[in-house]
Amino acid sequence: MAKVGYARVLANDENTDGQIDALIAAGVSNDVQHLFVDEGSSNSKAPRPAFDRCLDSLREGDILVVAKFARLGRSLANLIELMRKFDAIGVSVQILDNPALNTYVPEGLDKDAAQRLRDQTEYMLGILGSLAQYERALILDRTRVGLESARARGRNGGRPAVSSDDPKVKRAKDLHSEGKLTPQEIAGSLKIGVSTLYRYIKM
* CATH value at residue 39: 3.40.50.1390
Rounded CA gap, 28 and 144, in Å?
Answer: 46
Residue 108 pLDDT:
66
Beta strands in the chain (DSSP E): 3-8, 35-38, 63-66, 92-95
Report which secondary-structure segment, H or E, holds 77: helix 76-88
Report which secondary-structure segment, H or E, holds 197: helix 194-202
Which residue type occupies 178?
A: E
Question: Do 33 and 109 belong to one domain?
Answer: yes
Residue 171 forms part of a structural domain: yes
Residue 75 pLDDT:
76
Residue 127 pLDDT:
66
3-state secondary structure at position 175: helix
1, burial (CB in 10 Å: exposed 0-12, middle 13-18, buried 19+): exposed
pLDDT at 24 over 80: yes
3-state secondary structure at position 31: coil
Residue 110 pLDDT:
72
Q: How many domains does the chain have?
A: 2
pLDDT at 13 over 60: no
pLDDT at 71 over 70: yes
Per-residue model confidence as pLDDT tens digits over 165-182: 888 888 888 888 888 888
Listed residues 103, 130, 157: the one ending a domain: 130
Residue 119 pLDDT:
72
pTM of the model: 0.57
Residue 145 forms part of a structural domain: no
Among the residue ranges 67-71, 74-78, 151-155, the one predicted with the least confidence is 151-155
Per-residue model confidence as pLDDT tens digits over 99-137: 888 887 777 667 777 677 777 767 666 666 566 565 666
Question: Do 189 and 100 belong to one domain?
Answer: no
| DSSP strand pairing (35-38 vs 3-8) | parallel
Q: How confident is the model at residue 67 (pLDDT cuts 50, 70, 90)?
A: very high
Listed residues 130, 156, 178: the one ending a domain: 130
Rounded CA gap, 84 and 86, in Å?
Answer: 6
Residue 63 pLDDT:
93
Question: Do 176 and 110 belong to one domain?
Answer: no
Count the Cβ atoms, other than its own, within 10 Å of residue 190.
Answer: 16
pLDDT at 157 over 60: no
Question: Do 192 and 111 belong to one domain?
Answer: no
Q: How confident is the model at residue 78 (pLDDT cuts 50, 70, 90)?
A: confident
Domain carrying residue 80: 3-130
Rounded to 5 degrees, φ, ψ at 161 are -70, 145
pLDDT at 159 over 70: no
What percent of the chain has a predicted confidence (pLDDT) above 90? 23
Question: Do 198 and 124 belong to one domain?
Answer: no
pLDDT at 140 over 60: yes
Listed residues 114, 130, 146: the one ending a domain: 130
**DSSP for 95-140?**
ETT-GGG-----TT--HHHHHHHHHHHHHHHHHHHHHHHHHHHHHH
